[in-house]
Chains A and B, each alone.
Chain A
Amino acid sequence: MKCAGTIDVRDIDESSINIDPIQVGGRLTADAMKAIIAYGDGYSVCDQCRKPFRLDYIKTPPVDHFHLDLASFVNMDIARVVPGARRGFQAVADAFISPGDPVLITALSHYTEVLAIEGRAGVIREIPKTESTIITADLAANKIEEVTREFHRSPVLLFLDHFDYQYGNCHDLGGIIKVAHQYDIPVLYNGAYTVGIMPVDGKNMGADFVVGSGHKSMAAPAPSGMLATTSEWAGRVFRTTGVKTDVTARTFGIKEIGMMGCTLMGVTLIGMMASFPHVRERVNHWERELANGRKVVDALRSIEGTIIQSEYPRKHTLTRVDTTGSFDRVAQTHKKRGFFFSSALKERGIAGIIPGATKVWKFNTYGMTSSQAEYLAAAFRDIARENGLIVTD
């Protein structure tokens, strides 16, 4: 079936259990789907835009209140919507990094943090991870000392992922932020895999900036996200234009430079807003999500030769698994080779694993019902048994 022309209908989530590690937290709520039907046109939230002509002042729909709600949601002072977490990283990088400045990330940081720093010609230094793939306060302290010796000054900014995208491991957020602040290093908390799916309290953790992803964890269309900060830093990252052009003598009101004026002017924002009441409520059910994840992880662990590479017990629904000793062993002799696994999953109505992947892969159980989690767990076990692998009960 086609949507239009050569574009297929996308019905992956209607027809399958989707376990794609980056997609599940961004699936729309029913309210978001309804809102985007009405607000699909370009500048659709701008119908009632009046002076001072800025997104966060629009009252109908209540975009102004939504900005206040967002800040409150992550317990920070002020928030803006941005076209994806990456644009939040970029806005902060633009405000804090000058060419040659040392900037800290971690060995598990997302590539967009790297690009944000590279775009400012900052010098990237990584805090290494432990053997168990955790970023600790001790490692952060050592790296800060090392960088300070190298540059004769402290790093100007630290990007810190609470849960990383590779393993979904939980890092020592409080300890690392405390160490960074001892050196007066502001910390950007990357909540792409937390804000919108579990409780996040920015001030309590001591973050200077909280960045969230609408399309990754807030049930919103892409590209969307949020950047929140404290009143201490708001004036710097959300500074307003002061320019007057030479020929026409134009000025541009209170447009924010770092935001490039208005950010999300239509379907992305309305999707975020419509989902928000549900998102605000769903973060209170993180334990239920973890319980569903455990059902699936335990099923995989029961398959001989399978290794959970993420920390265990799991603290996140995104998990990295190594099936080199199980499903990949089957692939060596199976007539479909490596595609047997994704094919077997597809036959059972499970989607989101890269076709052909049988060695190291990731999945995410966020948002599925308890019965869907049980179905998925049983499917992994069944596929293993059907292919001669030993499964312990």
Chain B
Amino acid sequence: MVIFVSKRAIDAVFEGFFLLTDIRVMLRETAPKHDLDENQREKVRSLLDALEKDVAVLREELA
């Protein structure tokens, strides 16, 4: 079966990478203990929310 992946899905893949990159950078900024302050925690939560939306887009496109 051939699955035609949409532009929407491609964008979601890249956006997902970029969101994870922002989390990666936060790991760098807080190394080695990764004691995040409340602002940083809120930022990570927000990034994860956005990431979940991208994953949802990919699931929709796959369906």
Taking beta carbons and an 8 Å cutoff, which residues of A are in contact with B? 13-17, 27, 29-30, 33-34, 37-38, 348-350, 369, 372, 375
Question: Judging by beta carbons under 8 Å apart, are A14 and B24 in contact?
Answer: yes
Question: Judging by beta carbons under 8 Å apart, are B27 and A349 in contact?
Answer: no
Interface of B is mostly: helix
Q: Select one of B17, B28, B31 contacting A34, CB under 8 A.
A: B17
Interfacial chain A residues near B18, Cβ < 8 Å:
34, 37
Question: Judging by beta carbons under 8 Å apart, are A33 and B14 in contact?
Answer: no
Q: Which 8 A-B pairs have the closest CB atoms?
A: A349-B32, A14-B27, A30-B25, A33-B21, A34-B18, A37-B17, A13-B28, A34-B21
Interfacial chain B residues near A350, Cβ < 8 Å:
32
- Measured between alpha carbons, how far is A15 from B32 in the docked complex, in Å? 5
Interfacial chain B residues near A14, Cβ < 8 Å:
24, 27-28, 31
- Measured between alpha carbons, how far is A349 from B21 in the docked complex, in Å? 21
**B22 at the A interface (CB under 8 A):** yes
Question: Judging by beta carbons under 8 Å apart, are A17 and B31 in contact?
Answer: yes
Interfacial chain B residues near A348, Cβ < 8 Å:
32
Interface of A is mostly: helix
Q: Select one of B14, B21, B22, B31 contacting A16, CB under 8 A.
A: B31
Interface centre among A16, A34, A37 (most CB of B within 10 A): A34
- Measured between alpha carbons, how far is A29 from B28 in the docked complex, in Å? 11
Closest Cβ neighbor of B29 among chain A residues:
A369
Question: Judging by beta carbons under 8 Å apart, are B14 and A37 in contact?
Answer: yes
A-B CB pair tally, cutoff 8 Å: 39
**B33 at the A interface (CB under 8 A):** yes
Interfacial chain B residues near A16, Cβ < 8 Å:
31-32
Interfacial chain A residues near B31, Cβ < 8 Å:
13-17, 349, 372
Closest Cβ neighbor of B14 among chain A residues:
A38
Closest Cβ neighbor of B33 among chain A residues:
A349
- Measured between alpha carbons, how far is A38 from B29 in the docked complex, in Å? 23
Interfacial chain A residues near B22, Cβ < 8 Å:
30
- Measured between alpha carbons, how far is A348 from B33 in the docked complex, in Å? 9
Question: Judging by beta carbons under 8 Å apart, are B24 and A33 in contact?
Answer: yes
- Measured between alpha carbons, how far is A37 from B21 in the docked complex, in Å? 10
Question: Judging by beta carbons under 8 Å apart, are B17 and A17 in contact?
Answer: no
Closest Cβ neighbor of A372 among chain B residues:
B31
Interfacial chain A residues near B14, Cβ < 8 Å:
37-38
A–B pairs, 17, beta carbons within 8 Å: A13-B28, A14-B28, A14-B31, A15-B27, A15-B31, A17-B32, A33-B25, A34-B17, A34-B21, A37-B17, A348-B32, A349-B31, A349-B32, A350-B32, A369-B29, A375-B32, A375-B33
Interfacial chain B residues near A375, Cβ < 8 Å:
32-33
> A244 to chain B: closest CB distance in Å?
45
Encode B1-43 as 1/0 by CB contact (under 8 A) with A: 0000000000000100110011011011101110000000000
Interfacial chain A residues near B21, Cβ < 8 Å:
30, 33-34, 37
- Measured between alpha carbons, how far is A34 from B24 in the docked complex, in Å? 11
Interfacial chain B residues near A369, Cβ < 8 Å:
29
